[in-house]
């Protein structure tokens, strides 16, 4: 028996920095670029079953991790230990390890006490747009093919730590797909099915918990929300919800995980809000991603913006409140296909984002990006508007465009010329905004994957 679950990457179109505070929301889009996780039962007829799970990410070199697992006493949950590899030096994958620990801990609480967690083999595949590497396999294509329903992935020919990420939120999509695949595989469908809203909420809560634990910090979680629910208006959870979990292995950890994940705790309640009705992609339009070959340090940008915010509470509150209104206007214009209102909605947001940058001394919409966004909006017919997404900086731009070959062709020509003129190396990615979140996939569609 095998199970496959995929989860989308993200782009925060509006609400960067604001979404860190529960008073404000973020307009987050799921992307067509997905991370896929397959869980396969191991044939155990040959002998004694060891409590081992092997995880592989075969698009990368030396990307395999073996884990032993065992139930800790005093409701400490399932402990996970990485095992030595015979041939390759050991490398850690904190996101895989933590998602495994939290996932198995929850599963161990939900399965009847006499049920053992059987060993499995887990395979991870990432759609090509997560990395800006030239694929080293000629047999692979850029995105999963839809014509034959057979998925196809590239061999990137590098180690995971050497891969150039495009910033689409690989760790959140990975943790969500991994957790969704574990729960769908080990639990009967009467207990867990992604089709049921209550189960999706369990997936959300558990993925937020393990993603935060692996990251070592509690962020806004908009990336995990997009991986679980797809495109939505997101209001974050109070950080205290997750800090109440305590350390894995400590007495009562498994009980606390179950209570928090199922939201049955008497002292702590989830306060995330997810609305899928207040944002959409207008018919005939596409949200496209451009990778800027440069990159920014998000952590230090966030630190500086928040420092300015606490130093200038009145000024920043006025700006945050104004931006929130314009962000909501953009969301409702998108949801109601009020296309004529869109250029002004983008322009209003960009003006305030630039102000946030100038006031805090952080290049949120740097001059190079201003030039690019202005030129592409004015110069390519069918480009309705665009912004620097998320934390901004030099990572990416996102554009709302007419979804036709003429517009996309003209955009491609524009960006090539932009590069030739030495104005910047900006590439149109294949990833586009998509509404759907995590989903169960047909395992047969991965049968022909060759790397
Ligand atoms: N295809 C994959 N296979 C195995 N592990 C992966 C894969 N993709 C991501 N990961 C895990 O996620 C980590 C990358 O997470 P990180 O938060 O640095 O990037 P990100 O989520 O892509 O960032 P951003 O929010 O900027 O898009 C990797 O080091 C690895 O642990
Ligand atoms: C600045 C922030 O609001 C958004 C960061 O987004 P991104 O990683 O640049 O896509 C941080 C957060 O929400 O966790």
Mean pLDDT of the residues in the chain: 93
Contact 31, 168 (CB under 8 A): yes
Q: How confident is the model at residue 218 (pLDDT cuts 50, 70, 90)?
A: confident
Same domain, 115 and 150: yes
Ligand 1 atom at shortest distance from the alpha carbon of 93: 31
Same domain, 190 and 336: no
- Number of structural domains found in the chain: 2
Contact 41, 261 (CB under 8 A): no
Q: 92 vs 62, 67, 85, CA distance in Å?
A: 11, 11, 12
Q: How confident is the model at residue 48 (pLDDT cuts 50, 70, 90)?
A: low
Ligand 1 atom at shortest distance from the alpha carbon of 395: 26
CATH number for 301:
3.30.70.890
pLDDT of residue 46: 62
End-to-end CA distance of the chain: 23
- Percent of residues, the chain, with pLDDT higher than 90: 86
- Could you tell me which of 234, 332, 348, 349 has the C-alpha nearest to residue 282? 332
Ligand 2: centre distance to CA 138 (Å): 35
pLDDT of residue 141: 41
137 pLDDT more than 50: no
Query: Is 396's C-beta closer than 6 angstroms to any atom of ligand 2?
Result: no
Q: Name the percent of the chain in helix, strand, coil, to the closest 5.
A: 40, 20, 40
Contact 153, 147 (CB under 8 A): no
Same domain, 206 and 345: no
Same domain, 108 and 163: yes
Ligand 1: centre distance to CA 60 (Å): 12
Q: Residue 181: phi, psi to the nearest 5?
A: -70, -40
pLDDT of residue 43: 77
Domain stop point among 220, 251, 276: 276
Q: What is the pLDDT of residues 387-398, one digit of tens each?
A: 999 999 998 999
Both tokens assigned to 84: 């030595």
Q: What is the pLDDT of residues 170-199, one digit of tens each?
A: 999 999 999 999 999 999 999 999 999 999
Domain span holding position 367: 285-434
Same domain, 308 and 263: no
pLDDT of residue 296: 77
pLDDT of residue 297: 82
Same domain, 251 and 393: no
Both tokens assigned to 409: 């062709």
Ligand 2: centre distance to CA 219 (Å): 8
Ligand 1 atom at shortest distance from the alpha carbon of 94: 31
Domain stop point among 230, 249, 276: 276
Query: Is 25's C-beta closer than 6 angstroms to any atom of ligand 1?
Result: no
Ligand 1 atom at shortest distance from the alpha carbon of 298: 26
Q: Is 301 helix (H, G, I), strand (E, B) or coil?
A: helix
Both tokens assigned to 188: 């009967």
Ligand 1: centre distance to CA 382 (Å): 33
Report yes or no on 444 lying in a domain.
Answer: no
Bridge-based pairing state of the strands 439-441 and 26-41: unpaired
Contact 8, 230 (CB under 8 A): yes
Q: 242 vs 115, 209, 223, 274, CA distance in Å?
A: 28, 6, 16, 18
Contact 364, 296 (CB under 8 A): no
Query: Is 154's C-beta closer than 6 angstroms to any atom of ligand 1?
Result: no
Q: How confident is the model at residue 446 (pLDDT cuts 50, 70, 90)?
A: very high
Q: 28 vs 89, 226, 233, 436, CA distance in Å?
A: 39, 6, 6, 12
Same domain, 57 and 190: yes
Residue nearest (by alpha carbon) to ligand 2 atom 12: 220
94 pLDDT more than 50: yes
Report yes or no on 71 lying in a domain.
Answer: yes
DSSP 132-160: -PPPS-TT--SS--SSSS--------SBG
Report yes or no on 439 lying in a domain.
Answer: no
Q: Is 235 helix (H, G, I), strand (E, B) or coil?
A: strand
pLDDT of residue 245: 94
Report yes or no on 451 lying in a domain.
Answer: no
pLDDT of residue 134: 62
Dmax over Cα atoms in the chain, in whole Å?
69
pLDDT of residue 140: 40
Ligand 1: centre distance to CA 398 (Å): 20
Same domain, 271 and 296: no
Mean pLDDT of 312-318: 98
Ligand 1: centre distance to CA 199 (Å): 25
Q: What is the pLDDT of residues 272-313, one digit of tens each?
A: 999 999 999 999 999 999 998 777 788 899 999 999 999 999
CA distance 129 to 450: 18
Query: Is 387's C-beta closer than 6 angstroms to any atom of ligand 1?
Result: no
Mean pLDDT of 39-43: 91
Report yes or no on 13 lying in a domain.
Answer: yes
Report yes or no on 447 lying in a domain.
Answer: no
CATH number for 49:
3.30.230.10
Query: Is 174's C-beta closer than 6 angstroms to any atom of ligand 1?
Result: yes
Same domain, 265 and 314: no
**Torsion sign across C-alpha atoms 256, 260, 266, 268:** positive
Report yes or no on 445 lying in a domain.
Answer: no
Domain stop point among 245, 276, 307: 276
Same domain, 186 and 246: yes
pLDDT of residue 146: 44
pLDDT of residue 136: 54
Considering only residues 137 and 386, tell me which one the structure prediction assigns the higher pLDDT. 386
Report yes or no on 123 lying in a domain.
Answer: yes
Mean pLDDT of 61-77: 95
Same domain, 305 and 209: no
DSSP E strands, 253-331: 273-275, 285-292
pLDDT of residue 258: 98
What ipTM does the predicted assembly reach?
Answer: 0.97
Ligand 1 atom at shortest distance from the alpha carbon of 35: 1
Same domain, 248 and 319: no
């Amino acid at each position: 028996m095998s199970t496959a679950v995929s989860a989308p990457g993200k782009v925060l179109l509006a609400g960067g920095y604001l979404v860190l505070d529960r008073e404000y929301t973020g307009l987050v889009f799921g992307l067509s670029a997905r991370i896929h996780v397959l869980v396969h039962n191991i044939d155990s007829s040959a002998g004694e079953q060891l409590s081992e799970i092997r995880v592989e990410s075969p698009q990368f070199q030396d990307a395999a991790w073996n884990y032993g697992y065992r139930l800790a006493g005093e409701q400490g949950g399932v402990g996970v230990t990485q095992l030595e590899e015979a041939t390759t030096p050991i490398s850690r994958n904190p996101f895989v390890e933590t998602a495994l620990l939290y996932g198995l801990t929850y599963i161990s609480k939900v399965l009847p006490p006499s049920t053992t967690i059987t060993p499995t083999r887990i395979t991870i595949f990432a759609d090509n747009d997560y990395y800006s590497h030239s694929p080293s396999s000629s047999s692979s294509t850029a995105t999963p093919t839809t014509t034959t329903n057979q998925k196809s992935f590239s061999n990137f020919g590098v180690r995971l730590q050497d891969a150039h990420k495009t910033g689409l939120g690989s760790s959140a999509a990975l943790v969500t797909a991994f957790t969704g695949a574990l729960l769908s595989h080990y639990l009967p469908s009467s207990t867990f099915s992604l089709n049921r809203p209550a189960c999706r909420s369990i997936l959300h809560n558990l993925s937020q918990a393990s993603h935060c634990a692996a990251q070592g910090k509690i962020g806004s979680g908009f990336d995990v929300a997009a991986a679980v629910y797809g495109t939505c208006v997101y209001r974050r959870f109070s950080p205290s919800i997750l800090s109440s979990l305590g350390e894995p292995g400590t007495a009562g950890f498994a009980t606390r995980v179950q209570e928090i994940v199922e939201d049955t705790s008497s002292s702590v309640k989830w306060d995330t809000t997810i609305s899928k009705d207040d944002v959409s992609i207008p018919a005939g339009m596409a949200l496209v991603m451009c990778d800027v070959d440069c990159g920014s340090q998000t952590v230090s940008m966030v630190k500086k913006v928040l420092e300015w915010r606490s130093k200038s509470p009145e000024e920043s509150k006025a700006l945050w409140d104004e931006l929130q209104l314009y962000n909501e206007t953009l969301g409702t214009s998108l949801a109601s296909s009020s296309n004529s209102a869109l250029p002004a909605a983008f322009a209003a947001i960009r003006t305030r984002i630039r102000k946030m940058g100038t006031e805090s001394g952080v290049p949120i919409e740097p001059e190079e990006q201003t030039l690019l966004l202005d030129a592409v909006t004015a110069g390519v017919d069918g480009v309705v508007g665009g912004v620097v997404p998320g934390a901004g900086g030099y990572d990416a731009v996102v554009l709302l465009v007419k979804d036709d070959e003429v517009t996309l062709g003209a955009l491609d020509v524009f960006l090539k010329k932009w590069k030739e003129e030495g104005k910047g190396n900006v590439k149109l990615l294949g990833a586009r905004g998509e509404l759907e979140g995590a989903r169960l996939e047909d395992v047969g569609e991965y049968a022909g994957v060759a790397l």
